[in-house]
Chains A and B, each alone.
Chain A
Amino acid sequence: MTVPALLALALLGWALLRALAGYGRRDPALCQLSAREYALVRGAAEATFPPGGPIPLSGIDAKIPEHVDRYLAALPARTRVLIRLLFVLIEHATLFFKAPGWDGFRRFSALSLEQRMAVLEGWARSKIQLRRLAFQGLRAVLTMGYFACPAVLRAIGLAPLAIETPVVDADLLYPPIGQPRSAILFGVEDRARTVARLPLDPRGPLQPGYGEASG
């Protein structure tokens, strides 16, 4: 083997190492995110919602990676693949298009917080529509995860209000999804139960699970 070939092989190995190695172990509590995907989501969540901001929860505090894991699990297989491709694109684009700083040729999750923020800003402001769309896709996934946290919704003042749900004819016909009809929750007597029909009070109680005690 010639010296140039050896050098090329070494370069290739080095590039592969930078692209794929060193992610640590996969968190067994996560059912969808691989170690690499977790690193990307965590890094992007922190860059999008860093600690010490006006909302007292960072993206990590709000457990965005855990939400993304649940979201992926709820998606159909093909859609899940598309999201994963998006993650791969963002994670590895900085191996080819340098992030700011002398050490910018690293994968996204290995960049500093400032570098990650600058990279995302670049995607957001790109003149190329598809690049902007990719950013919007990633930020949508992260933002929806952030808003899934009750404490975030409370901090913003957008937590859902409590609503008493009346029982209608249909509730005597359909079981909860995945259960047999024997699991139907209501009977004729429930239908007669009176519930409030007035407009909600915007200052009224929050939906259980979104109050102060809910984290």
Chain B
Amino acid sequence: MSDPRSWPGEVRVFSDYQNDFTDSADVVVVGSGPCGAVAAYELAAAGKRVVLLEEGPPFTPADFELDGALSMARTMREGGLRFTMGHVMPTMQAIALGGGSLVNSAMCIRCPDYRLEEWAEAADLARTSRRDLEPHYDAITEFLGIAPTPDEVQGPRNLLFRDGCKALGYSSEPCPRNVVHCRGSGECFTGCRARAKQSMDISYVPAAMRLGARVLTSVRVEELLSNGRRVTGVAGRVVAPFSGAPGPRFRIEAKAVVLAAGVLATPLLLQRSGNLANASGQVGEHLQFHPGTSVLGFFPDPVDPVFGATQGYQSLHFLREGFKLETLWAPPGVLAVRMPGLGHAFQQQLLDMRYASVFDAIVSCDLSEGRVRERGKSLQPEMRWSFHPDDAAILARAVWVMTEIFFAAGARKVVPGVAGHPDEMHSLAEAEALRQRPPRAGDMVCASTHVFGTARMHGDARRGVVDEDGKAHDLDNLYIADTSIFPLSPSVNPMFTGMALARRSALALADRV
């Protein structure tokens, strides 16, 4: 085993920056989330001089917070309290080395064939079938050790989902995750203390450094520099962890730029850099989410939910209907927000949480779109998004199906968390009201961490921002490698498909730079 401190690459942290600085590279990658980290690694493996930039700091286990509120405040942009306008919905994006992979549940789901065929149809794509992406999925799977969640770390709350689905004849399966030697702490969302989750900060990013990549953390890119059809580099400021207080300025020149800043920051950077790559007018448009909601079920015997993989089981049974079901655990204080009641009644509900399991549904939401613009000159996004009634109806159906699964698994009580319906339901017959009077969009407490579509890939340069390699139609050496390039929802968790596309982009770019 080599000493990481002798590797050719390096990492710089906030205290390393005293003065303004300039640098150069073959390729500068903006954003160290799953897509940017894969791109940086592949480019470094191809022998390119890579600089990877990240606005957030690296988190060590000493920096993890088990307290859900403080963890979100420290790891999420805008303290985890970002929300859309139009239909008001919280949406969370991480600010940390490794991006969302530090605080997500590590689900790596391949986009279904039929969905990629719909992408191809909708966006004139010729090389983005499941067969085209398979080699990239496979390579990432091998690198990260992606595997189905083993039974021994599922814990009762995940297995109850399996049992309920089985009783109703719905298919279900253990979630494939980038986790090795999971211990079932259920702490994916606050940082994996067991170091089992292969988040980018401990996997792809160090691997890129081993190959010579330089990683600059606590630096915020504020502008892409360009000249005609070429980008020439990036410029920005050093920023202090958490406070974001601006420090020295920097400028990095590069032969090519890979923009992997995320669905909300990528279009903002293009817009504030002279409306770059936007001849199509599509930058910042087609903002899409997977809104999700959760349902709690309570069983006769203790479930001891602190043990078990965060999201260990899923069902793709209803994917073509437009929703996906999963099990869920989160910091208890965050989940408790969903419990009904006030005062002593509320406390009684909280005492019941030992008997609880949580399921959630995410909806493809093909009809619900929005757009993103910069809020003033803040570099923060202003999102406007509407929840189409037909998509909300799909989520309402998912709430009913989750309730059905709970009762089939033996739940004694279900808390659907839907306004206008009873707080608790004690039988399927009682829950029938959810089917008779389906909740509307505003009746369900929704949130979303899956975002895509603001710099979409399209075969026709007049209708999209990038081509199938992720290269901007309007520029010769700007690539976008994050889920903003998705032309439609992937219907499943987007991270893995984003990484596969980023790998393909990086390999294409490595041949050209």
Determine which of A82, A177, A198 lies in contact with B63 in the assembled complex, contact meaning CB atoms within 8 Å.
Answer: A177
- Chain A residues 155-213 with CB under 8 Å of chain B are 155-161, 163, 165-166, 168-181, 185, 188, 191-192, 196-200, 202, 207
CA distance A161 to B70 in the complex (A): 19
Determine which of B193, B201, B209, B302 lies in contact with A163 in the assembled complex, contact meaning CB atoms within 8 Å.
Answer: B193
Residue among B1, B79, B97, B353 with the highest chain A CB neighbour number at 10 A:
B79
Contact digits for B1-38, partner A, Cβ 8 Å, 1 yes 0 no: 10111000001011110000000000000000000000
The answer to whether A76 touches B342, judged by C-beta atoms less than 8 angstroms apart, is no
The answer to whether A144 touches B334, judged by C-beta atoms less than 8 angstroms apart, is yes
Determine which of A117, A133, A161, A174 lies in contact with B306 in the assembled complex, contact meaning CB atoms within 8 Å.
Answer: A161
CA distance A168 to B4 in the complex (A): 10
A35 interfacial by beta-carbon distance below 8 Å: no
Write out the residue numbers on chain B whose beta carbons fall within 8 Å of the beta carbon of A180: 13, 15-16
Determine which of B14, B16, B58, B354 lies in contact with A156 in the assembled complex, contact meaning CB atoms within 8 Å.
Answer: B354
A74 interfacial by beta-carbon distance below 8 Å: yes
| Minimum distance in angstroms from B161 CB to a CB of chain A | 18
CA distance A166 to B67 in the complex (A): 21
A148 interfacial by beta-carbon distance below 8 Å: yes
B344 interfacial by beta-carbon distance below 8 Å: yes
Write out the residue numbers on chain A whose beta carbons fall within 8 Å of the beta carbon of B337: 136, 139-140, 143-144
The answer to whether A74 touches B63, judged by C-beta atoms less than 8 angstroms apart, is no
| Chain A residue nearest to B74 in the complex (CB) | A74
Determine which of B1, B70, B346 lies in contact with A49 in the assembled complex, contact meaning CB atoms within 8 Å.
Answer: B346
How many chain A residues touch the partner (CB < 8 A)?
A: 73
Write out the residue numbers on chain A whose beta carbons fall within 8 Å of the beta carbon of B353: 156-158
The answer to whether B350 touches A55, judged by C-beta atoms less than 8 angstroms apart, is yes
A43 interfacial by beta-carbon distance below 8 Å: no
The answer to whether A160 touches B187, judged by C-beta atoms less than 8 angstroms apart, is yes
Residue among B334, B347, B348, B442 with the highest chain A CB neighbour number at 10 A:
B347
Write out the residue numbers on chain B whose beta carbons fall within 8 Å of the beta carbon of A53: 343-344, 347-348
B351 interfacial by beta-carbon distance below 8 Å: yes
The answer to whether B241 touches A178, judged by C-beta atoms less than 8 angstroms apart, is yes
| Minimum distance in angstroms from A154 CB to a CB of chain B | 11
A151 interfacial by beta-carbon distance below 8 Å: no
A27 interfacial by beta-carbon distance below 8 Å: no
| Chain B residue nearest to A130 in the complex (CB) | B88
CA distance A207 to B59 in the complex (A): 19
Q: Given A54-B347, A71-B73, A185 and B62 touching (CB < 8 A)?
A: yes
Q: Given A50-B343, A172-B3, A148 and B193 touching (CB < 8 A)?
A: no
Write out the residue numbers on chain A whose beta carbons fall within 8 Å of the beta carbon of B202: 168-170
The answer to whether B67 touches A148, judged by C-beta atoms less than 8 angstroms apart, is yes
The answer to whether A141 touches B69, judged by C-beta atoms less than 8 angstroms apart, is yes
Write out the residue numbers on chain A whose beta carbons fall within 8 Å of the beta carbon of B60: 171, 174-177, 185
CA distance A135 to B418 in the complex (A): 15
The answer to whether B69 touches A148, judged by C-beta atoms less than 8 angstroms apart, is yes
The answer to whether A54 touches B351, judged by C-beta atoms less than 8 angstroms apart, is yes
**Interface stretch (choices B178-186, B399-407, B426-434, B463-471):** B178-186
B451 interfacial by beta-carbon distance below 8 Å: no
Q: Given A54-B347, A117-B343, A173-B209, A199 and B153 touching (CB < 8 A)?
A: yes
Write out the residue numbers on chain B whose beta carbons fall within 8 Å of the beta carbon of A160: 66, 185, 187, 306
| Chain A residue nearest to B198 in the complex (CB) | A168
The answer to whether A200 touches B184, judged by C-beta atoms less than 8 angstroms apart, is yes
The answer to whether B1 touches A74, judged by C-beta atoms less than 8 angstroms apart, is no
A25 interfacial by beta-carbon distance below 8 Å: no
The answer to whether A197 touches B3, judged by C-beta atoms less than 8 angstroms apart, is no
Q: Given A76-B78, A169-B206, A49 and B347 touching (CB < 8 A)?
A: yes
Q: Given A117-B342, A172-B3, A148 and B184 touching (CB < 8 A)?
A: no
CA distance A124 to B419 in the complex (A): 9
The answer to whether B81 touches A48, judged by C-beta atoms less than 8 angstroms apart, is no
| Chain A residue nearest to B440 in the complex (CB) | A129
- Chain B residues 35-93 with CB under 8 Å of chain A are 57-63, 66-70, 73-74, 78-79, 81, 88
26 pairs, CB–CB < 8 Å, chain A vs chain B: A47-B342, A48-B346, A52-B344, A54-B348, A76-B242, A79-B79, A129-B442, A130-B88, A144-B67, A146-B333, A147-B331, A147-B333, A155-B351, A156-B350, A161-B185, A166-B195, A170-B58, A173-B209, A174-B201, A176-B60, A177-B242, A178-B15, A185-B60, A199-B152, A199-B183, A200-B185
**Leading 9 A-B pairs by shortest Cβ distance:** A147-B333, A144-B69, A74-B73, A174-B58, A202-B307, A75-B79, A144-B333, A53-B344, A170-B202
Interface residues of A (CB under 8 A from B): 47-50, 52-55, 67, 70-71, 74-76, 78-80, 82-83, 117, 120-121, 124, 129-130, 132-133, 136, 139-141, 143-148, 153, 155-161, 163, 165-166, 168-181, 185, 188, 191-192, 196-200, 202, 207
